[in-house]
Amino acid sequence: MDDFLVLKAIGRGEYGEVFLVEKKDPHQRERPRKRPRYALKVLNRIHYYRYETNPDAERCALLDLEHPFLAKLYWFWSTRRHRRYVREFLPTAHLFHYLARENRFNEETGRFYAAEIVSVVTYLHSLKCLADLKPENLFLSPAGHVVITDSGIGKYDLQKYEGDDYRGGREYLVCYLICRSMKEMIIEGVGSIWYAI
């Protein structure tokens, strides 16, 4: 944490907080007028105890993931009490904000966002990775594209998935309970978002 200057808190979730930060440069005596800004997510490891026994379910090579609709992860480190993820900072609001404002997107807009969500989910699925799909984890980039910001992306064996290994928002719990396979769960998760938008 000493390498970052915390500017302000920008979000709070069930498992932690998100801060707007700048990376310090130890070689600069004075703070420059403009430095790159990042989103620092701090998660309490107590709430993630179920996944500690499965290293593959934690990182999913997060630093290696590259997709235009996936927020870039720059740094990750872990302590006894916390996990910290430093991601690309998106100054725009999340998809839920725009959805609440519009109540429902028109068909053309909904198709556009749905296609982008399917694109990034297909990419993650090809790597046997999953993300917590819910509007709060879907931001819009300044260019108007959907970007997944979930730091809990995990890697799973799709053939050995057990339905009780749930992670994600409570609002979308039903698809995790009724699906008998990982493939069903992925389809239902995307379907829930698609229906919402």
Q: Residue 88 carries which side chain, given as an amino acid letter?
A: E
**Helix, strand, or coil here: 77?**
strand
The residues that are catalytic are 132
N-term to C-term CA, the chain: 37
**What gap in Å lies between CA 52 and CA 191, rounded to an integer?**
29
Residue 13: how many CA atoms within 13 Å on its side-chain side?
A: 20
Question: Do 143 and 163 contact (CB within 8 A), yes or no?
Answer: no
Of 42, 34, 87, 78, which is closest to residue 58 (Cα–Cα)?
A: 78
Determine if residue 41 is labeled as part of a ligand binding site: yes
Tokens of 32: 């420059």
**What gap in Å lies between CA 122 and CA 181, rounded to an integer?**
16
**What gap in Å lies between CA 183 and CA 188, rounded to an integer?**
9
**98: CB partners within 8 A, 6+ apart:** 105, 140
Which residue ranges make up the annotated binding site?
Answer: 41
Which residue ranges make up the annotated binding site for ATP?
Answer: 41
